[in-house]
């Protein structure tokens, strides 16, 4: 289905926000279903907070669900229609021209680059909380240019995939989103049963899904996450190896050492030594108190 054939609006920055570098708004889609298609002289990013919505964009239709985020360029023509149930979305619009330097620096990974369909991602639970935190920062009366650019770079990171992308490669959205929450020692200690609980699926269903998607067991996926977490703690702290192993759910030290060496090719102690010796020396300048 194409965008309804009615007159298209062109929104100007003066229409949106005559002052400032950005505009933050929450839209109730139940009250936007009669808006005609529109493009802008500015760019924007929006994500669905609740409910569903039909989104017509450049002649294409998509059904948006909670967590769906889209980056809209000035030339993109789009329209929202109320879904079932009616939804709300957050919108951050900003002047695109002053950010040309950022766009040039990041090239194709800049989500508002020309060409191709609009970029987007479905946010997991952790990312949605992060976006809510950004709204608290950006919704002040005089948001700063630094805050805007930091927010947009965070969006770019989410859209292009973060450090967890290889871990969740090929997995369905319900499992990839659960992994975001699971990557915490409070959950890691619970192993596969805890991950299944977060997913709302049985352990058998979880294991079948991981096998079909990544050709490994759910236990292997969980242990890989535990080891990544442990490696970060070894790199950044002097905490005892046994303490770190127990906190992530691998209290049997012999088993932990075997898994760690298999994953990283080093013992935990050697890994810590290698990682910390690679860090630049910090020169401390001290002076007597006066």
Q: 122, 146, 161 — which closes off a domain?
A: 161
CATH of the domain at 81: 2.60.120.280
Domain identity same for 154 and 36:
yes
219 in any annotated domain:
yes
What digits encode the pLDDT tens for the residues 145-182? 899 999 999 999 999 875 456 677 788 888 988 888 89
Q: DSSP secondary structure string, 25-48? A: EEEEGGG-TTPPPEEESSEEEEEE
Domain identity same for 20 and 112:
yes
Token code pair at residue 137: 């920062």
Position 51 scores a pLDDT of 87
Domain identity same for 89 and 202:
no
Q: 161, 187, 205 — which closes off a domain?
A: 161
Domain identity same for 149 and 176:
no
| Domain span including residue 207 | 166-265
Task: Quickly tell me which residue has 């760690």 as its tokens.
Answer: 260
Helical pair 191-199 and 203-214, crossing angle rounded to 10 deg: 90
Alpha helices in the chain (DSSP H): 13-16, 100-106, 125-138, 145-160, 165-168, 173-182, 185-188, 191-199, 203-214, 218-236, 241-247, 253-264, 268-277
Q: 161, 196, 223 — which closes off a domain?
A: 161
Q: How far is CA 71 from CA 43, 44, 45, 63, 75, in A?
A: 8, 6, 4, 16, 12
Position 111 scores a pLDDT of 94
- CA dist 88 and 91 (Å) reads 10
Domain identity same for 184 and 229:
yes
Token code pair at residue 185: 């020692």
Residue 183: partners with Cβ closer than 8 Å, 6 or more residues away: 164, 225, 229
Domain identity same for 17 and 153:
yes
Position 83 scores a pLDDT of 67
Token code pair at residue 176: 């990839």
272 in any annotated domain:
no
Please count the structural domains in the chain. 2
Query: What's the longest Cα–Cα distance across the chain?
Result: 77
Alpha helices in 36-188 (DSSP H): 100-106, 125-138, 145-160, 165-168, 173-182, 185-188
2 in any annotated domain:
no
What digits encode the pLDDT tens for the residues 66-103? 889 999 999 999 888 776 777 788 999 998 777 888 88
Residue numbers of the chain with a pLDDT score lower than 50: 1-6, 163, 280-290
Domain identity same for 188 and 102:
no
Q: How far is CA 211 from CA 18, 219, 220, in A?
A: 54, 10, 10
- CA dist 76 and 37 (Å) reads 10
Position 284 scores a pLDDT of 36
Domain identity same for 122 and 177:
no
Domain identity same for 40 and 133:
yes
274 in any annotated domain:
no
CATH of the domain at 245: 1.10.10.60
Mean pLDDT of the chain: 84
């Amino acid at each position: 289905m194409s965008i309804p054939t009615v007159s298209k609006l062109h929104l100007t920055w003066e229409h949106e926000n005559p002052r400032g570098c950005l505009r933050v708004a929450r839209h109730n889609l139940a009250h936007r279903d009669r808006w005609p298609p529109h493009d802008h002289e500015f760019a924007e990013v929006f994500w669905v907070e609740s409910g569903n919505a039909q989104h017509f964009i450049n002649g294409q239709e998509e059904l948006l669900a909670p967590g769906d985020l889209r980056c809209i360029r000035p030339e993109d023509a789009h329209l929202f229609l109320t879904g079932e149930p009616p939804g709300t979305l957050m919108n951050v619009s900003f002047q695109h021209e002053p950010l040309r330097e950022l766009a040039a620096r990041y090239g194709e990974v800049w989500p508002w680059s020309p060409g191709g369909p609009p970029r987007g991602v479905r946010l997991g639970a952790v990312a949605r909380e992060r976006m809510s935190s950004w709204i608290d920062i950006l919704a002040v009366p005089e948001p700063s240019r630094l805050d805007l650019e930091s927010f947009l770079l965070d969006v770019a990171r989410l859209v292009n995939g973060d450090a967890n992308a290889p871990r969740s490669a090929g997995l369905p959205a319900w499992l990839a989103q659960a992994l975001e929450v699971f990557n915490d020692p409070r959950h890691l200690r619970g192993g596969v049963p805890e991950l299944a609980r977060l997913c709302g699926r049985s352990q058998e269903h979880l294991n079948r899904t991981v096998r079909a998607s990544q050709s490994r067991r759910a236990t292997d996926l969980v242990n890989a996450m535990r080891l990544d977490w442990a490696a970060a703690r070894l790199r950044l702290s002097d905490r005892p190896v046994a303490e770190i192993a127990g906190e992530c759910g691998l209290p049997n030290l012999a088993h932990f050492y075997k898994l760690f060496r298999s994953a990283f090719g080093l013992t935990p102690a050697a890994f810590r030594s290698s990682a910390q010796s690679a860090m630049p020396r910090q020169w401390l300048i001290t002076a007597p108190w006066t």
